[in-house]
Structure 1
Amino acid sequence: MKHHLTHGRVVTTIAPADEPITLADLKRQIRVDTSDEDDQLTAYIKAARELLEEHTERALVTQTRQLYLDRFPSCQTIEIPCTPVTSIESIEYIDPTGQLQELDPSSYVADLVSSPARIRPAYGRFWPAIRYQMNAVIVTFEAGQDVDEVPERAKQAIRLLAGHWYANRETVLIGTISKEVEFSFNALAGQLRWH
């Protein structure tokens, strides 16, 4: 039973500084040697990376995200539905008086090796009392990896999608996958999923 994830929502607060593939990489893939459409191609790369991250619940490159929960879990374990998590930046909560508080890092322990990453109160400690309201708990964390550590399968999936959107820009909306690339994309994404 995962009641602690029932109302959880993850948002990206600081986007990656770099994408898994470069503009030059995509242009080689689709055989484009002019700069006339660089902005559009860059948008395709970003959209493809975001879609792949959504399908795999994986952060491909270093970024900061926040997990919003309505309460601390009764089972005491917070699971972060994203991998890889590289650090827990903070845990904030709304106390019973309505004030935003930040937990002392010594009051909890994080397991960043497991997928999903887990956070529990330190030995002999418990989560504090909170005000009963939506999004009363905010976990800020860093996720992802360096660009040169991104798996080649992920890069290929991004090239595949971005190239497809470029070749079919008159008939395909960004964010959608046509049947002709869906099988390949799903095969690559399936290998990257962590559960």
Structure 2
Amino acid sequence: MKLERISGPEGVFLTREQIKAHLRVLHDDEDELIDALGDTAMAHIDGIRGVLGRCIQPQEWRLTYEDGFSGGCIRLPFPGVGDAAAVWRDEAGDPQEAEIRRMDCGIWTEVIVTAPPGRAVEITFTASTPEDVWPAIRTAMLLLIGHWYRNREAVAVDARFDTLPFAVRSLLSPLKVHWV
């Protein structure tokens, strides 16, 4: 099984201007650092490796079973799934449309794909977080970027070390996906 992002989010979730306003930076000397911190915060929170375990903005993914698909129910790896479609590969490797049955189970989406046994199957789907929680995610990202901007080195004297600042944890914890 292989999971890959086909297309990322369109547009910028946090602009440089929004980040600079939060940091109270009026000069352009550190624009490269500020952009890097914004990208790092997004990577830290968003997607399959992010601390939320979900996609923030709409993005398209492909889940591939290359070594043959044996059927059954598949829980897609992200909550907030929009469209989903599937194809299977024939002997020549050409894609053939597969029947897909979708079941929404709480925040999760499960699919049953009908394809010949042992054939490679690709499931494409979109996933995102509801827009009504985007302000909390933006605020958490700004706080995290501010923390990294002020504490640029890993060494500190007389400081308490936390994995994430408390306010960031408080904003993100209710949105985190927990696998069971």
**TM-score higher than 0.5 here?**
yes
Match of 2:73 in 1: 77
Task: Note closer, same or farther for the CA distance 1:150–1:188 as it changes in structure 2 (3 Å cut).
Answer: closer
Per-residue deviation, 1:71: 4.5
Higher relative contact order (CA 8 A, sep 6+): 1
SS in 1 for 2:51: helix
| Code of the aligned partner of 1:181 | L
Match of 1:41 in 2: 34
| Code of the aligned partner of 2:170 | A
Give the aligned length: 169
Normalised by the length of structure 1, the TM-score is: 0.71
Q: C-alpha distance in 2, partners of 1:31/1:94?
A: 54
SS in 2 for 1:179: coil
Q: Which runs of 5+ in 2 are unaligned?
A: 156-160
Per-residue deviation, 1:140: 1.6
Match of 1:3 in 2: none
Q: Confirm or deny that 1:141 pairs with 2:136.
A: no
Q: 1:92 aligns with which of 80, 87, 91?
A: 87
Match of 1:192 in 2: 175
SS in 2 for 1:120: strand
Contact 1:62/1:145 (CA < 8 Å) preserved in 2? yes
| Code of the aligned partner of 1:72 | F
Q: Deviations over 1:21-80 (max 9, x none)?
A: 222221111111122322332222222122112211111112112223354354x21211
Task: Note closer, same or farther for the CA distance 1:98–1:58 as it changes in structure 2 (3 Å cut).
Answer: same
| Code of the aligned partner of 2:115 | W
Task: Note closer, same or farther for the CA distance 1:30–1:85 as it changes in structure 2 (3 Å cut).
Answer: same
Match of 1:165 in 2: 148
SS in 2 for 1:82: coil
| Code of the aligned partner of 2:93 | Q
| Code of the aligned partner of 1:164 | H
Alignment identity in percent?
25
- Provide the aligned C-alpha RMSD in A: 2.8
Q: Deviations over 1:107-164 (max 9, x none)?
A: 222245742212124xxxx332224xxxx43222112258x54432211221122222
Q: C-alpha distance in 2, partners of 1:179/1:38?
A: 27
Task: Note closer, same or farther for the CA distance 1:99–1:60 as it changes in structure 2 (3 Å cut).
Answer: same
Contact 1:154/1:189 (CA < 8 Å) preserved in 2? yes
**More helix as a share of residues:** 1
Contact 1:93/1:101 (CA < 8 Å) preserved in 2? yes
Q: Which runs of 5+ in 1 are unaligned?
A: 1-7, 173-177
Q: C-alpha distance in 2, partners of 1:43/1:128?
A: 46
SS in 2 for 1:61: coil
Q: C-alpha distance in 2, partners of 1:28/1:101?
A: 49
**More strand as a share of residues:** 2
SS in 2 for 1:165: helix
Match of 2:108 in 1: 116
